[in-house]
Amino acid sequence: MKRTSTTLADGRELLYITTDDGAQHAPPDPRELPPVNTTSQMRRDPLLDEWVMMASHRQHRTFQPAPADCPLCPSAPGRRTEIPAPDYTVAIFENRFPSLATDAGLAPAEFDHALTDVRPGYGRCEVVCFTSDHHARFADLTPEHARLVVDAWADRTEALSVMDGVEQVFCFESRGAEIGVTLQHPHGQIYAYPFVTPRTRRMLDVARDYRANTGRDLHSDVVAAERAAGVRVLAETRHWVAFVPAAARWPVEVHVYPLRRVRTIPELTASERDDFATLYLDLLRRFDRLYDGPLPYISAWHQAPRTDHEDLSHLHLQLFSIRRAADKLKYLAGSESGMDAFITDVLPEDVAVRLNRLRSDEGAFHG
């Protein structure tokens, strides 16, 4: 992987990612841009002991522009975007409307609450453009291109993890207007949080209790149980296994684990990264053949936070969709939104059967 760094007109960093033998022209950004708003803040919920990020300036972020106005496409004569180059393979830049920023300002002086801490919204938010092709999907990438994205995730995880104050790095993709995506260009994001996220903290607590009670690793035992049962397994390769979890919360949900226990993406070997790229493309293509249109989904990497000194984490990908039928979405209604108690409308075993009928060897997906 080759990284070319440059700076946008407002001082944000832009990285072009290419293969080692690739060359990337990095022209300057000729736009006149206002300074980036870095007034986000964090407030700790005293009832849940969780940090809530508040970034009111994001109300004005770009919202579902026409393809001709997409800010993630390469620049062209008379049309300047976030990517000054006329073409690129993978591009990563600091978000223009960040929820967290390394130069976040001071917390509001007028805020006063005896039990709620408030802090500047320190951290970093990056946008990862998977391809310059506006009409492509991640599933349309070649295995070599998908592998380059994996390398980019690993590279950014390493770089962001060593920043002072960063506790956890989260690489993810949200796709589809149903999910709330405001830009349709194929892209993902990376958040560098100054805290351990609630889901990760909960998983660490459960894994700690499991180890104390059994002396064993929870994630490894979950993977072993799914492989032994077999009924929810979608694919097993030399280095990875993908399955619908037995207690899936979402209508379509797949977990992808490396068979070798590692904590973060950078720890994956070259063979493991190659193997994942091929498997991941297969899963995404199955998702897009499930109904008559692209499936809205979230693809979320779960990596160890810096403070996991007990070695409780196990790297895995959670891939899920809110579509429960061709014409129906799963909404987080009263039980889910009010109590965080999920009710699912489909059995995981039935989802596994349907996805297994859509294996890549039964016909390739064409976007």
Read out DSSP for 29-77?
-----PPPP---EEEEETTTTEEEEE-GGGGGS--S--GGG-TTSBPBT
pLDDT given at position 341: 97
Round to whole Å and give the CA distance between 202 and 199.
Answer: 5
> Catalytic site residues?
187
Q: What percent of the chain has pLDDT over 70?
A: 97
Mean pLDDT of the chain: 95
What are 239-259's pLDDT values in tens digits? 999 999 999 999 999 999 999
Find how far residue 128's CA is from the centre of its chain: 10
Is residue 170 within 8 Å of 178, Cβ to Cβ? no
Round to whole Å and give the CA distance between 232 and 247.
Answer: 11
Residues contacting 112, CB < 8 A, separation 6+: none
Type of residue numbered 65: P
244 closest CA partner among 255, 236, 259, 257: 255
Residues contacting 359, CB < 8 A, separation 6+: 235, 282, 286
- How many residues would you count in the chain? 367
Round to whole Å and give the CA distance between 358 and 367.
Answer: 15
Q: Do 2-195 and 199-362 come out as alike in CATH topology?
A: yes
pLDDT band at 365 (very low <50, low <70, confident <90, very high): very low
pLDDT given at position 366: 36
Q: Is the pLDDT of residue 363 over 60?
A: no
- Residue spans of the domains in the chain: they are 2-195, 199-362
The residues that bridge with 191 in the sheet, in sequence order, are 125, 170
Is residue 135 within 8 Å of 111, Cβ to Cβ? no
Q: Is the pLDDT of residue 108 over 90?
A: no
| Residue predicted with more confidence, 263 or 25 | 263
pLDDT band at 362 (very low <50, low <70, confident <90, very high): very low
Find how far residue 199's CA is from the centre of its chain: 14
pLDDT given at position 60: 85
How would you class 23 by CB atoms within 10 Å of its CB: exposed for 0-12, middle for 13-18, buried for 19 or more? exposed
Mean pLDDT of 311-327: 97
Is residue 64 within 8 Å of 183, Cβ to Cβ? yes
pLDDT given at position 360: 62
What are 153-179's pLDDT values in tens digits? 999 999 999 999 999 999 999 999 999
Round to whole Å and give the CA distance between 204 and 306.
Answer: 12
Residues contacting 54, CB < 8 A, separation 6+: 40, 41, 42, 43, 121
Q: Is the pLDDT of residue 110 over 90?
A: no
Q: Is the pLDDT of residue 367 over 60?
A: no
Residues contacting 46, CB < 8 A, separation 6+: 115, 116
Mean pLDDT of 84-95: 98
The residues that bridge with 241 in the sheet, in sequence order, are 236, 257
166 conformational bin, left if phi > 0, alpha if psi -120 to 50, beta if neither = beta
pLDDT given at position 364: 39
What are 28-49's pLDDT values in tens digits? 999 999 999 888 999 999 999 9
CATH number for the domain formed by residue range(s) 2-195: 3.30.428.10
pLDDT given at position 107: 66
Q: Collapsing DSSP states into helix, strand and coil, what is residue 344?
A: coil
The tokens describing 315, both together, are 């790297």
Q: Which CATH class is domain 199-362?
A: alpha beta
Q: Edge-to-edge strands of the sheet including 240-243? A: 2-7, 13-18, 90-94, 124-129, 187-193, 168-175, 297-302, 316-321, 252-258, 240-243, 233-236
Q: Specify the range with the lowest mean pLDDT, choosing from 97-106, 229-238, 251-260, 336-345.
A: 97-106
Show the DSSP H helices in the chain as ranges.
143-161, 198-214, 218-229, 270-289, 339, 348-356
pLDDT given at position 23: 79
